[in-house]
Structure 1
Amino acid sequence: MQVGNQIKKYRDQLHLSQEQLAEKIYVTRQTISNWETNKSYPDIHSLVLLSQIFNVSIDQLVKGDLEMMKYQIEKEEVNKFNKNAVIYGALLLIAVLSLVPLWTYLQAAGIFIWILIYGVAIYYAFQLEKQKKKYDIHTYKEILAFTEGKTLDEIQKNQEIGKRHYQTFLLVVGVGVASFFITYMIAYLLQI
């Protein structure tokens, strides 16, 4: 946290001790010490008083922290996207590989288990699609940049937007072929 360093810097500039500053903003010396060592964070009332005493804006006091919080939120979103992608990929692979064995050994109960696995995979697919819409990422290059916590510059983004229609068409064709194959396998297994 940067606010602790900022408080210490401005306090030193005004030649105030921790105790003197504490008296001015109605807290204990230990509270000032905790802020400066980043053990705790000042509440909004204290931030207002600090900004008045130091004659700086609240933004100047917490700017580094706001950037760090923004970075942390973005990092959490990237991690969430990556986690959902791994879970979806694993479930989809399990669904594809388990269809025949489940049918062979468990028949109707096996198909029910397979439908559950496939249903959970579809749930994670929807979660990924919501995140893709939220962050306007659709093409492979956009998704790859997002998972690495990077962004594309404006020219690259426009190039990727131009590719979206073709990639959507290929995706639809791929899903259609996969659906046909799965339907054919289910029909074949039900006839055995």
Structure 2
Amino acid sequence: MSTPGRDATPSDPRKEGALLVLAMVAVMWVVEIIDSLDSQRLDRYGIEPRHLDGLRGIVTAPFLHASFSHLFGNTIPFLVLGIGIALSGAARVAAVTAIVAVVGGVGTWFTGASNSVHIGASGLVFGFAAYLISRALFSRSWLHLGAALLVGFLYGSTLGSGLIPQDGISWQGHLFGGVGGVLAAKLLDSRGPRAAPRRADPLAGL
């Protein structure tokens, strides 16, 4: 006779994190397929700077893309960087994504060009990269430093060029997405505040 729950296989946080990343990518592709069949009408739900209706784009914009080539260009780095974060579990992926999306979206909403609509997952990509790089500064872990160097090697030039103002490119989303990534690394630093050392009381034993 087995005890309920005794034979349950413990969940793997890394696997769950990877599945969450894959699920977000799957949603992006499903949305783009639907959007392409509907003459890209869903793109109007992106971030519209300084329009109240445009605030909904903070949630929807990362899942909207102008074309399949635009989506494909974001898919590979999103997967690579997202899986890197997923090694810390699904909760970490969700937290980083939420912080980057909010900071990047609000920043874009305030600073984006008037009469423009900002869409795409590149803000999250920049945020993921910034998180993985800046995390090493806060954790002071050699493993995190190695990951930061690898991210810099793979995407350093792309990150730099993506911050240069260009027509048709949401450099604001890139910039504030990166800010969100640094903020996420700081807020989610596992070390937390260090407690002050206790001083021995010479009268404690009296």
Q: TM-score range by the shorter chain?
A: under 0.3
Which has the larger share of helix?
1
* Bigger RCO (CA 8 Å, 6+ sep): 2
TM-score (norm 1): 0.26
Query: Max radius of gyration: which structure?
Result: 1
TM-score (norm 2): 0.25
